[in-house]
Amino acid sequence: MTDRALVVVRAGALTTVQDRGRPGYAHLGVPRSGALDPRAAALVNRLAGNPPDAAVLETTLDGCALRPRSTVTVAIGGAPCPVTVGGRPAAWGAPVTVPAGALLEVGAAVAGVRAYVAVSGGIAVEPVLGSRATDLLSGLGPAPLTDGRVLPLGTPAGPPARVDAVPQPRPPAELVLRVTPGPRDDWFTARAVRELTTRAYRVSSASNRIGLRTEGPALERARTGELPSEGMVLGAVQVPPDGRPVVFLADHPTTGGYPVIAVVRGADLPAAAQAVPGTTVRFVAVRRR
Amino acid sequence: MRAFPVGDDALLVEVASGEQAQALHAELLRRRAEGSLTVREIVPAARTVLLDGLADPVRWASELTSSEIPPAPPRARELIELPVRYDGPDLAEVAAHWKVSEHEVARIHAGTEFTVAFCGFAPGFGYLTGLPARYDVPRRATPRTAVPVGAVALAGPYTGVYPRSSPGGWQLIGTAEAVLWDHARVPAALLSPGARVRFVPVGEA
């Protein structure tokens, strides 16, 4: 008899269960959540033989260590990092067999922030509103991993991909985020709008799954007063009173009262999820498609 | 009405009042139900409705700003009754703002029919409108680090009920016993935008 479960030996700084999130409930105040780097999550699922919506683990900077109770196929991608199985080096970005009881160690990221760990069968915690994602803003979904926790695994859907390795984008040395202006660019001075797209910002260490916070020139408001709460989108560049833009990521609040000066293209957000604190950020204005 | 494209696949539609936002929300839900509008999220707020996950927001901007939005159909939704004890720690402060007695605060609040204008802040937290503008109250100067679950609270023109314990700066006037949010229940949220709500006092404040 096999025991399809995964023991968390070292949870790491912040490791969460993620999938494609729970879109469709924003009107009830439920963030979309889901993997911050969905391309990497989809890729490791494919490598491990999982469907694209299987739940994976998302680590933050320092990886994690796991011991499966039955033999599983795993795949690790996103942020590049050393991988060992039973103390021996194993492949990153390719299917790896972990025998029952062996220790899988996902090391600290050598670049980027978030590594993704897919396990054949997927992490089978109970879904909430159709998703197993941990939402750090509203507390829906499973709590972040803790040492000693046991995670149930689902039944493998198919064989692992037959590849040795697949190319994955390197985390960016400089983060370039294409933005379309608005909807509230008129709340800022013309100079502030120009500054956003011509000056350099840096990724702040206060960034998290809710937003990529930046350090750099403060953007000056043309209007004072409060904006009545309005709906917020993924990638919104919201400017709080300190003037430093915040790019909304998956766990962002569904409504907010600070003006949104511009919106980042969705295709650029996976790179934002992998930008380490201190990385230079440039916002580049593009035309709406 | 003004409409602002938001990124490549969303549209923020702004109207002049909360009532118009509720009417626009009802109309957009109707269009989605009849199949003429395909969109992932319809998010009403104070003066706006956001359409997110929308193909061709620029076309929808001109379509919506040139169409007549009928007023929200009255009493279209069932009335949700929330049993409440008016025992909040800020009852005296709210009474002072309203220049009435604490007992009168409870009577006025329980005598009002509210509408869930929109949700936000936390899953299942509704912003309820219905009190006349003269009963607006400011937020507390110092937010509480933990507002208890079920707290019935006022801020600005809104009434809200905390679906779980969280920090908060609203003025607490009572306690509701209903479960506002239970993700194992269908629907998870007791209050959704457009719902009608009445607070029913239980026991003595």
| Interval B123-144 mean pLDDT | 95
Chain A stretch 259-278, residues whose beta carbon is closer than 8 A to a beta carbon of chain B: 260, 263-266
Q: What are phi and psi of B201, to 5 degrees?
A: -65, 140
Please report residues of A whose CB lies closer than 8 A to that of B53.
Answer: 23
Q: Is A156 on the interface with B (CB under 8 A)?
A: no
Tell me which chain A residue has its CA closest to the CA of residue B41.
A24
Q: Estimate the crossing angle of helix B102-110 against helix B91-98, to 10 degrees.
A: 80
What are the tens digits of pLDDT across the range B3-43? 999 999 999 999 999 999 999 999 999 999 999 999 999 99
Residue owning tokens 């709340």: A187
Interface test with A, best of B52, B56, B149 (most A CBs within 10 A): B52
From residue B38, give the alpha-carbon distance in Å to each of A94, B2, B64.
38, 20, 14
What are the tens digits of pLDDT across the range A16-70? 999 999 999 999 999 999 999 999 999 999 999 999 999 999 999 999 999 999 9
Please report residues of B whose CB lies closer than 8 A to that of A128.
Answer: 183
Whether residue A244 contacts residue A215, with contact meaning beta carbons closer than 8 Å, is answered with yes
Neighbours of B75 (CB within 10 A): 9
Q: How far is B133 from chain A (nearest CA, A)?
A: 16
Three-state secondary-structure class, residue B75: coil
pLDDT score for A171: 79
pLDDT grade for A167, boundaries at 50, 70 and 90:
confident
Q: How far apart are alpha carbons A164 and A271 in whole angstroms? A: 24
Whether residue B7 contacts residue B1, with contact meaning beta carbons closer than 8 Å, is answered with no
CB contact under 8 A, B121 and A255: yes
CB contact under 8 A, B8 and A266: yes
pLDDT grade for B205, boundaries at 50, 70 and 90:
very low
Q: How far apart are alpha carbons B167 and A54 in whole angstroms? A: 34
Whether residue B17 contacts residue B38, with contact meaning beta carbons closer than 8 Å, is answered with no
Helix H or strand E segment including A43: helix A38-47
List for chain A the helix, strand, coil content (%; round to 5): 10, 30, 60
pLDDT grade for B204, boundaries at 50, 70 and 90:
low
